[in-house]
Amino acid sequence: MKNFIYFLSLIISFNLFSQEKILDTLQGTKQNLDEVIVQSIRVKYSAPFSHSNISKTELSLKNLGQDLPILLNFLPSVVTTSDAGAGIGYTGIRIRGVSAQSTNITINGIPFNDTESLGTYWVNLPDFTSSIESLQVQRGVGTSTNGSGAFGASINILTDAVSEEAYAEISNSVGSYNTYKNTVKFSTGKINDVFELSGRLSKIDSDGYIDRAFSDLKSYFLQGSYLKGSTFIKALAFGGHEKTYQSWNGVSKDQILENRRQNPYTYENEIDNYKQDHYQFHWNEKLNQSWSTNIGLNYTYGRGYFEQFRKDDSVKTYGGIVESDLDANGLKTETTDLIRRRWLDNDFYVLNASLNYQSTVLNMTFSSSYSTYSGDHFGEVIWARQFGKNASIRDRYYEGNGKKSDFSIFTKASYLLNEKTELYGDLQLRNVGYKTTGLTSDLVNMVIDQSYSFFNPKFGLSYKLNSDSILYGSYSRANREPSRSDYESNPNIKPEQLNDFEFGWRFRKDGLKFNFNSYFMQYNEQLVLTGALDDVGTPIRTNSGSSYRLGIEADLKVKLSDFFTINSNMTISSNKNKQILSQKDGKIFDFGKTNISFSPDFMTSNAIVFSPKDNFNLSFLSKYVGTQYMGNTDALNSKLDSYFVNDFNISYEINPNKIFKSIVISGLVNNIFDVEYVSNGYYYTYDDTWSNPSQVKTLDGAGYYPQATRNFLLGLTLKF
């Protein structure tokens, strides 16, 4: 099967209609016909869901090496963070206070979330932004999609569109903390008006804001297309290789006061080393003016390890592979120094199929998706003071496997009841099976055999008040299974359920666009972040019983003149656990109604854009994030202070008559006022019995991820 998929990656792909434009029902929004690949999971302007569309042009203005989550920082209800502090390496995004584990990500309709952890690791696809044509962020449950359920948002990505003309592009960036980005892109353009082949190679290096938190990132992207008559086929191969130094354990409050850039790890190879390759094949066929089909195939191969130096580690953890050190009296200490690697090796297969019917009053989609995953987890010792008598280097001290299948089928329809009213309906059935065997890294036998069947209905209505504005409302339900790490921390963990109510108003006229949305997200057994981390930096979650998120989102774009534009958004919310029970001082304590972790009550972003010419843009960007808690008990030590940061972005394009089609000079100054702030962290409690063994005293601690102070990136792009 692997050889077959590798062969598919070499096929030049094929595609449907030419890149003309079609219009949305109810409110004319132009759509690029490359989007037929993702039409089953995207929503149009009039849909009764809160969403944002981001174009390639918008992304390119700030695409100087930072990861995609950082480039989405100024969208409504978004908080982003970077472990290394400068937006390169391990980065994260939370939407409406919900972690990346609960945000559904797809690339050309193919699930990107890690199947077992449910998280997304953009570090595995460095500079992927350079190969994105467009993306859509749906906040809340949104419409039915492929892969794991969306509990805060979904982000669906469409890769580069077919280029009519041949081009070559060289893009280079340089910036603070020895940051360098080098990208080469090309396209053959449409050959014989049928074929097109395009590709990209990228290399990104950065020392990181945090000491030694370097990133060494490589990636590639190859895409072929075939367009003839009613057939549109696209084949892709893309992937990345990342090496990043350990910085995901953060620093303590005292360490921040000493030196906020310090890194407590000193072993020179305390790194994450991981490769991931994706192979996709998409076939869209237009059967007639009303009916079309789409088939998508995917194979993802991931493998890599995290290397650690362990000082005075217990030999019991390694099952006889290593032997104890001896103390001054020649007695065994039951500990030793060693270096270990903890590996992941996984295969992920996906088949998507959809059938679409479209008329003047009805747009209906029937879609299904099946995926299967197998992931090996194992650890090996690559150095020790002394190996056991029957052991040697690279012997595995634990081995385990996780297998997961995911089948979903959904049908959705929008029906134009009359020229003002559009009805929306969406029904999804999803079945998930998860089995594990073997040992965890703590040598605990992990045997899980769980299956879940979820029914996720969604209904909505849009009403056109006039040619300029639309009112809408919707109800959506989502169910979601726990992750592997959830099971490791609590074998009795429960799946979570969300009922999402959305009501909003959209207005656009001339140079003014305004969106107002209100939401009530009612959870049952929501899996919320406890604030603590496991031993590889993965956030630990727990069921919170009954909880809710209630809020309003507003975003505005107004063109003040031919030169000035203002983009603003604001989110005001209340995010509460109705009751939290937790152990304190050896007893179960009722903390009552508390704030949900990592959920600020207020966020706002603002962009003032000055464009004296079409090829010249200056942007002043501001972001405010209110106070948030890293745990769910409202403990004072779990509090993250609010912060307000500002960036400055410049882009200038020159169109010479010779050699180059275009020369683009761009620059970005992040945090121009040199604010020292923290956007993320973790919180934990532990029982202290040393001072008084007869009395259990609960203590707490916290770790923080300091973000970079003033820093810059400069870029030069040459287009041939």
In the predicted model, what is the mean pLDDT of residues 99-107?
Answer: 90
Give CA–CA dist 366/410, Å, rounded: 6
Output the pTM of the full model: 0.92
* Burial (Cβ within 10 Å: 0-12, 13-18, ≥19) of residue 466: exposed
pLDDT at 689: 58
Determine how many CB atoms are found less than 10 A away from the CB of residue 32.
16
Give CA–CA dist 629/597, Å, rounded: 5
Give yes or no for residue 381 having a pLDDT over 80: yes
pLDDT at 1: 44
Give yes or no for residue 297 having a pLDDT over 90: yes
The residues, ordered by sequence, that sit 6+ positions from 43 with a Cβ below 8 Å of its Cβ are 49, 51, 136, 138, 142, 143
CATH number of the domain residue 551 falls in: 2.40.170.20
Number of independent structural domains in the chain: 1
pLDDT at 534: 62
Amino acid symbol at 48:
P
Domain span holding position 469: 2-719
Tell me the average pLDDT of the chain: 90
> Which residue do the tokens 């929004």 mark?
29
- Give the pLDDT confidence of 426-463 residue by residue, as tens digits: 999 999 999 999 998 888 899 999 999 999 999 999 99
Please report the beta strands in 359-492, taking only residues with DSSP state E, as ranges in sequence order. 362-384, 396-416, 421-438, 448-464, 469-480
- Give the pLDDT confidence of 28-63 residue by residue, as tens digits: 444 455 778 888 899 999 999 999 999 999 999 999
Q: DSSP readout, 640-669?
A: E--EEEEEEEEEEEE--SSS-SEEEEEEEE
In the predicted model, what is the mean pLDDT of residues 256-278?
Answer: 94
Rounded to the nearest 10°, the torsion over CA 42, 47, 50, 54 is 40
Minimum mean pLDDT range among 366-375, 506-515, 538-547, 647-656: 538-547
pLDDT at 342: 95
pLDDT at 693: 59
Give CA–CA dist 479/477, Å, rounded: 7
- Give the pLDDT confidence of 389-405 residue by residue, as tens digits: 888 898 999 999 999 99
User: Which of 664, 533, 668 is CA-nearest to residue 607?
Assistant: 668
Give yes or no for residue 155 having a pLDDT over 50: yes
pLDDT interval class at 20 (50, 70, 90): very low
Of the chain, the percentage scoring pLDDT greater than 70 comes to 92
Q: What is the helix (H) or strand (E) element at residue 69, kind and residue range?
A: helix 68-71
pLDDT at 4: 35
Determine how many CB atoms are found less than 10 A away from the CB of residue 656.
9
- Give the pLDDT confidence of 177-233 residue by residue, as tens digits: 999 999 999 999 999 999 999 999 999 999 999 999 999 999 999 999 999 989 999
pLDDT interval class at 14 (50, 70, 90): very low
Give CA–CA dist 590/258, Å, rounded: 36
Residues 436, 400 contacting (CB under 8 angstroms):
yes
pLDDT at 540: 73
Burial 147-183 (b: 16+ CB within 10 A, else e): bbbbbbbbbbbbbbbbbeeebebebbbbbbbebebbb
